[in-house]
Amino acid sequence: MWPSKQTYKETGYWNVTVYGRKHCYRLYTEHLNEAVHWVCAIQKVIDSKDPMETPTQLLIKDIEENHSNQETVEEIYKLNPILRHTKSPLYAPLLPFPYGSDDHSPHSVKGYTALRDEAVKIFNSLQQMENENDPVPLMQGVLQTCLDLRPLRDEVYCQVMKQTTEPPEPGSVSDLRYWQLLTCMSCTYLPSPAVLRFLQFHLHRMKSHYPSTETEKYADFILSSLDKTKQREYVPSYEEISVLIQRQELICTVHYPGAGVCKLPITSHTTAEELVEELIKKLKLNGSRNVFALFEQNNHYEQVLAKATIVADTLTRFENFTCKEKGFETRWRLYFKLYCFLDTDDVPKDSLEYSFLFEQAHEAVIQGYLPTNEESLQSLAALRLQFLNGDFSPSAPFPRLEELFPIYILHSRVLASSKPHITSKPSCPSLHKGLFSGALPNGLWNNSLVKQKAEESQKFRGRMKEEGANMMSAIVDKWKALQSMDRTEVMATYLSIVKQWSGFGSTVYDIDFYMSSVGSFSQRLWLGVSASALSLYKQGEVDAFENIQYSQITSFGVSDNSTFKVSVGEKEMIFETSKVDEITQLINTYLTCISNGPPHPGESSSSSSEDPSQLV
């Protein structure tokens, strides 16, 4: 309602907008003092008025006051059509909305209008939904609007309760559409306490009116959901709504190391912590001393899920990403794996957990996080081939080299041996401007550069192909020497090589910049986060140049979204990385494990702190 400076700049008039229940008034004046006087006077009137109550609100109060007297309640419903199903449109909201435009103006970018107009439009959508063959998109639209515009939630709950009261054909498809939407709403967000009490009363009343029917089953399902629902970040996905309207559980697919897949039923309320616990039981990992976690992952990205994350929300994001990002390279999935390495020595070699260790170690190797010589990397690649294919055979399938060996080594070698790019040579300004300024048209000069770059790129690909063939040949020669080695022996040998690095068992992160209060600074480091310490390495070097035991850390915390700070006594260290939240969450998990003593077998990542910025 405050005078609009933007309008004054555009029109020369100060604009004051007054929002009423049914109408919106725009007042204009050339003088700011007069506009401010209007605002103060109108606000004084508003503040002196009691909150407005609609007929529906008053009737809800009457029903609540007389809920123990069934005859009185039934009489209220009988005498007041506003509480019952209608085929007519709605001309005004059932509930009042706050004065002013603050409750919806931030959402105008999404195309929303005034709340009262949105409320009327939603009721029209509800009536349209009755006859839809596929109601899911319309339901998603209603849920999204209510998720965006909080004041609409109570209103739409009341609209749906109205339409499920004394319908013309109880149990018909059109009637059940409302119950299906109410089911989805109850799993997405809760109404205010007053409307929640009325909703619970309404559900119990419908159960008593329609025993042993679909209506009763939906009412029971909704009552159960209301006890579990927490605020969702996203509306349910198409798949989730499709199972919710059948009152069924959603089948969730979770991948794990070694190309394993596990399918588990989840509800709209299942958290990442609960799903991890179920996976530990299902995969018989209860005896593990290590900590497991659930990750969201595609070919280029991986992020651990916080324990309170609602899994269905993550699946909805996957659905949204899939709509925007077509193709295998961006396919999203849930991934279950080891998170904290507390005991890597006593894992039984015939267990699934041992294969997790092996697969995750191999993943680190091909990503380049094992500082060792090329000979050892070739041996590891040969062991991987033996694990995948058994003994050497010319007809055995060959994975791509990048699935066996850190390909960046070949890239670096080829780049180092290539001639410097012509454009990287310092040019002589006077010579360029004088002698050649008119020799060639700009287009020809640019075409020449493009052609040269294309030739260099082709040469680079040729060299990479040649180096790749030589590397694969060396790996195959080592593979042939592994005759008769079984899978268990392969994994043990592979891990014995990897464990030679003191950083084994650490989760390694790239650090863009590091600076300490004693004056040292570096770029492009590795930070290893392990069960006992933080270790700093120069990239590719075997030995850490600094080890910080957790017992030495006096505090740590996040400065901003790319910086975190660690204090050790008087010394402060600042790290810049894109993985700030992941690093602090992992450190917090290790610290929790240390403070709680040895973890119980099969403990999940649920012990981690929710707040990555929390100070130790």
CATH number of the domain where residue 61 is located: 1.25.40.530
* pLDDT value at residue 39: 85
Give whole-number Cα distances, 424 to 421, 429, 452, 460, 534, in Å: 5, 14, 13, 17, 39
Order of all β-strands in the sheet with 250-256? 260-266, 250-256, 333-340, 291-297, 302-304
For CA atoms 494, 497, 499, 504, give the dihedral sign: negative
The answer to whether position 287 is within a domain reads: yes
Evaluate if residue 351 carries a pLDDT over 80.
yes
The answer to whether position 102 is within a domain reads: no
Question: 87 near 126, Cβ under 8 Å?
Answer: no
Could you tell me which residue, 85 or 428, shows the higher pLDDT?
85
Examine the domain organization and report whether 255 and 153 are in the same domain.
no
* pLDDT value at residue 231: 87
Could you tell me which residue, 424 or 84, shows the higher pLDDT?
84
Question: 365 near 383, Cβ under 8 Å?
Answer: no
Percent of the chain whose predicted confidence (pLDDT) is above 70: 88
b/e burial code for range 418-431 (CB count within 10 A of at least 16 → b): eeeeeeeeeeeeee
* pLDDT value at residue 594: 86
C-alpha–C-alpha distance, residues 536 and 554, integer Å: 18
Could you tell me which residue, 22 or 46, shows the higher pLDDT?
46
Please give the distance of CA 34 from its chain centroid, rounded to a whole number: 50
* pLDDT value at residue 1: 59
The answer to whether position 61 is within a domain reads: yes
Evaluate if residue 573 carries a pLDDT over 80.
yes
Phi-psi region of 252 (alpha: psi -120 to 50; beta: other; left: phi over 0): beta
Q: Which two tokens stand for residue 392?
A: 């050497």
The answer to whether position 290 is within a domain reads: yes
Examine the domain organization and report whether 512 and 569 are in the same domain.
yes
Question: 331 near 298, Cβ under 8 Å?
Answer: yes
Domain termination residue (choose one: 498, 531, 550): 498
Structural domains in the chain (count): 5
Examine the domain organization and report whether 316 and 300 are in the same domain.
yes
Examine the domain organization and report whether 446 and 430 are in the same domain.
yes
Examine the domain organization and report whether 122 and 223 are in the same domain.
yes
Examine the domain organization and report whether 427 and 331 are in the same domain.
no
- Categorize the per-residue pLDDT at 149 as very low, low, confident or very high, splitting at 50, 70 and 90: very high
C-alpha–C-alpha distance, residues 251 and 281, integer Å: 17
Evaluate if residue 257 carries a pLDDT over 80.
yes
* pLDDT value at residue 442: 59
Question: 192 near 154, Cβ under 8 Å?
Answer: yes
Examine the domain organization and report whether 284 and 421 are in the same domain.
no
When mean pLDDT is compared across 142-151, 443-452, 594-603, the lowest value belongs to: 594-603
Question: 346 near 598, Cβ under 8 Å?
Answer: no
Evaluate if residue 102 carries a pLDDT over 70.
no
C-alpha–C-alpha distance, residues 535 and 549, integer Å: 9
Examine the domain organization and report whether 260 and 312 are in the same domain.
yes
State the SS3 of 538-590. ECCCCCCCEEEEHHHCCEEEEEECCEEEEEECCEEEEEECCCHHHHHHHHHHH
Question: 254 near 294, Cβ under 8 Å?
Answer: yes
**491-534 pLDDT, tens per residue?**
999 999 999 999 999 999 999 988 887 777 788 899 999 999 99
C-alpha–C-alpha distance, residues 164 and 177, integer Å: 10
Q: What is the mean pLDDT of the chain?
A: 87
C-alpha–C-alpha distance, residues 379 and 429, integer Å: 52
* pLDDT value at residue 11: 86
The answer to whether position 205 is within a domain reads: yes
* pLDDT value at residue 605: 53
Q: What is the mean pLDDT of residues 382-403?
A: 94
Could you tell me which residue, 110 or 551, shows the higher pLDDT?
551
Question: 231 near 258, Cβ under 8 Å?
Answer: no
* pLDDT value at residue 434: 41
The single-letter DSSP state of residue 94 is: S
* pLDDT value at residue 517: 79
C-alpha–C-alpha distance, residues 518 and 241, integer Å: 57
Which amino acid is residue 511, in one-letter code?
Answer: I
Q: Residue 12's domain spans which residues?
A: 5-48
Evaluate if residue 222 carries a pLDDT over 80.
yes
Examine the domain organization and report whether 415 and 459 are in the same domain.
yes
Could you tell me which residue, 555 or 163, shows the higher pLDDT?
163
Q: What is the mean pLDDT of residues 243-249?
A: 96
**297-341 pLDDT, tens per residue?**
998 889 999 999 999 999 999 988 876 665 544 689 999 999 999
Q: What is the mean pLDDT of residues 242-264?
A: 96
Examine the domain organization and report whether 267 and 180 are in the same domain.
no
Question: 205 near 222, Cβ under 8 Å?
Answer: no
Q: What is the mean pLDDT of residues 438-443?
A: 54
Examine the domain organization and report whether 324 and 379 are in the same domain.
no
* pLDDT value at residue 155: 98
Evaluate if residue 134 carries a pLDDT over 60.
yes
* pLDDT value at residue 26: 85
Examine the domain organization and report whether 185 and 63 are in the same domain.
yes
b/e burial code for range 314-347 (CB count within 10 A of at least 16 → b): bbbebbeeeeeeeeeeeebebbbbbbbbbbbeeb
Percent of the chain whose predicted confidence (pLDDT) is above 90: 67
- Categorize the per-residue pLDDT at 455 as very low, low, confident or very high, splitting at 50, 70 and 90: confident
The answer to whether position 301 is within a domain reads: yes
- Categorize the per-residue pLDDT at 613 as very low, low, confident or very high, splitting at 50, 70 and 90: very low
